[in-house]
A and B are shown apart, each in its own frame.
Chain A
């Protein structure tokens, strides 16, 4: 059995603190490498997951350190699916406009870049609300042959 057919599943539960981001990156990168993604792509996936967790810590939990964030990584038939679930405040991605760097520069705005990066780095991004007031963002990356 080669990497393309292998079924892979791992999860990591962290608290909503920025101190956890290094562990999130290590977990994500080693999982992506294990699934056969090249180093450069693993780096992109790692950054996307860092950005998603950072958004949850900042916006869903408003820096309250007691929140839970569950990261599940599954890989099957060349498709990597990363689900990130939290129990914080609901967040509507439709309300976050795509950043325009020139406008940001004028207004000294510094937020909103993370979601834009996630979209650029991943093949699919889907935000949803689950039962029990949970929020979930699902990030997908395909391993090209």
Chain B
């Protein structure tokens, strides 16, 4: 069974989602649950911290695509930080850098919302 953990925390007005382990078709619903909770709570400013994510498949990428527009329609966004090269390469193959902002550090992504 794939090992995956997701944790949600608040940094000022921004919601930070920490993802850890393997994000695939089996574990993507756990991440969807977190996004659904954010929508319920009307939290639209989101940073996903990928520091401990080892692997992502298109099922995981699909979660971000499914929620990003709702966040943007409500003056928020989904921004990405701390991504390992092998994970970034998959986002890059699918053309995500034209539609999403990637940051080296979580703080930079959070500050982008605040400034």
Contacts and interface: CB of A to CB of B under 8 A. Distances in A.
A101 B94 contact: yes
- From B26, B55, B98, name the one whose CB has the most chain A CB atoms within 10 angstroms: B26
Contacts of B58: 51, 54, 113-114, 117
Given A21-B2, A51-B58, A101-B95, A58 B25 contact: yes
Interface in A17-44: 18-19, 21-22, 25, 40, 43
Interface in B1-41: 1-3, 22, 24-26
A62 to B, nearest CB: 13
Interface string A98-120: 01011011101111011011001
A117 B68 contact: no
Contacts of B94: 99, 101, 113, 116-117
Contact of A22 (B1, B66, B90): B1
Interface residues of A, number: 29
A47 B55 CA distance: 9
A50 interface: yes
A50 B25 CA distance: 9
B95 to A, nearest CB: 4
A50 B93 contact: no
A57 interface: yes
B91 to A, nearest CB: 11
A50 B23 CA distance: 11
B83 to A, nearest CB: 15
Interface string B62-98: 1101101100000000000000001000100111101
Interface string A74-115: 000000000000000000000000010110111011110110
B62 A113 contact: yes
Contacts of A21: 2, 24-26, 57
Given A22-B3, A117-B94, A120-B93, 5 more contacts: A19-B2, A108-B65, A113-B58, A117-B93, A121-B93
